[in-house]
Amino acid sequence: MTLPDMHSAEAIPADARAEIDRLLSSGDLFRYTAAADAPVSLLEAEFAEMMGSKFALAVSSCSAALFLSLKALNLPRDARVLIPGFTFAAVPSSVMHADCLPVLCEVGENYRIDIDDFIAKLPEVSAVIVSHMRGHTSDMDAIMSLCDAAGVPVIEDAAHSLGTTWNGQKIGTMGKIGCFSFQSYKMINAGEGGIMITDDADLVARAIIMSGAYEHNWKKHPVLQDAFAAHQNRLPLYNLRLSNLSAAVIRPQLPHLARRVTDGRRNHDHVANLLEQSLHIHVPAPLKGEVRAPDSIQFNLVDMNDTEVEAFVAAAGADGVKVQVFGASADNARAFWNWQFIPDLPELPQTRKMLMRACDVRLPVHLPTDTLNTVADVLLHAVASATEPEQAYGT
């Protein structure tokens, strides 16, 4: 069978259309025009309620949410911010954008923060961004207790982790701030968009003003109004707002999240089980306490050299499954050595070794079982063909 486009998203629910039509005919696209109940405000209320957090601020992207989080923490220029050595380039970029300096932490073969290296580097930093990369959750018990003891605030980059839980707690609600993405390859798709959640009224007040709630537009946010008074006219306005049109695309998807998460987990585990038949493929298990919400699968190639890895990617690609080996594809935005905008970019030997063998395959949550079986077959055949002993020539 031929495989579908593995980058396709689910269609936007039909009930988005009436609201989009209303916005198109009224032209009411700016979040602060309506006196109340603008789609962006309703999205914030619904998202905060869904996550069980006090406040939510919708912005133009998760990168914008990470940047505003750092700004709202009031970090001084050149403050050091600990980030994992395996994440998307948007994360170190947001740190640079906030005039801070990224400190990179080693990541293990299971894609999670190496806690020993985290402990070693924590004393140098003023804040931590934990990236739940591709939905893989690092040991949040260890990280939160270390950071609480050191008085270091944690920002959770849950861009690609909406729906994951840790000991029953929602990812993004453990740190001081949680940030999520609505870019098309994430669980909820608006093309672009992001949102940050927190329980800290003063912090969210600062973020709201800096996101572009100029003059007294902050009055349209359900935050204790005292929190704003001290900041009026004292903070720069970065204009990172979300449009009502995006909110109208996002809101009808929220009720579908639980199903997407269950489907994604079932699909992931189905393919993971099939792949484990090969001695050359290892799918790292979730940590105890972690219940994942995947829309892709990551696995490590074991006992294969660079030539075999290349042959595997080519063979899978020829049969319609695009595999990205994070460290092997040219200019990959998740390979730390390509973040050359960081001054004194360090070497992370352990993370580099992992990236040279870690593969990434998208598994959109709507794929049916026969397609998943085909994906697994293609990958298993590709590994077999890449690793089979050289045929002897001659007689």
**Chain positions contacting ligand PLP, by CB under 6 A:** 61-63, 87-88, 90-91, 131, 133, 157, 159-160, 181, 183, 194
Question: Cα–Cα distance between 129 and 143 in angstroms, integer?
Answer: 11
Chain position carrying tokens 């790292």: 284
Least distance from ligand PLP to the Cβ atom of residue 295, Å:
11
Least distance from ligand PLP to the Cβ atom of residue 94, Å:
8
> Residues 378, 312: contact at Cβ < 8 Å?
no
Neighbours of 256 (CB within 10 A): 15
Q: CB-side exposure of 8: number of CA atoms within 13 Å?
A: 8
> Residues 72, 256: contact at Cβ < 8 Å?
no
Nearer to ligand PLP, 155 or 321 (CB): 155
Strands 80-84 and 101-105: parallel
Nearer to ligand PLP, 41 or 189 (CB): 189
Least distance from ligand PLP to the Cβ atom of residue 79, Å:
20
Least distance from ligand PLP to the Cβ atom of residue 297, Å:
15
Nearer to ligand PLP, 278 or 327 (CB): 327
Question: Cα–Cα distance between 294 and 297 in angstroms, integer?
Answer: 7
Q: List residues bridging with 324 in a β-sheet.
A: 360
Least distance from ligand PLP to the Cβ atom of residue 169, Å:
19
- Which residues touch 204 (CB under 8 Å, ≥6 apart)? 55, 57, 72, 196, 198, 221, 223, 227
Question: Cα–Cα distance between 136 and 373 in angstroms, integer?
Answer: 23
3-state secondary structure of 76: coil
Strand order of the sheet with strand 169-170?
Answer: 169-170, 165-166, 290-291
If you ran DSSP here, which 8-state letter would residue 4 be given?
P
Least distance from ligand PLP to the Cβ atom of residue 191, Å:
10
Nearer to ligand PLP, 41 or 87 (CB): 87
Q: List residues bridging with 57 in a β-sheet.
A: 196
3-state secondary structure of 120: helix
Nearer to ligand PLP, 127 or 378 (CB): 127
Nearer to ligand PLP, 7 or 216 (CB): 7
| Tokens describing residue 373 | 């079986």
Least distance from ligand PLP to the Cβ atom of residue 146, Å:
21
Nearer to ligand PLP, 44 or 218 (CB): 44
Least distance from ligand PLP to the Cβ atom of residue 157, Å:
5
End-to-end CA separation in angstroms for the chain: 37
Strand order of the sheet with strand 296-301?
Answer: 281-282, 296-301, 358-362, 324-325
Least distance from ligand PLP to the Cβ atom of residue 155, Å:
11
> Residues 197, 58: contact at Cβ < 8 Å?
no
If you ran DSSP here, which 8-state letter would residue 56 be given?
E
Least distance from ligand PLP to the Cβ atom of residue 232, Å:
29
If you ran DSSP here, which 8-state letter would residue 107 be given?
B
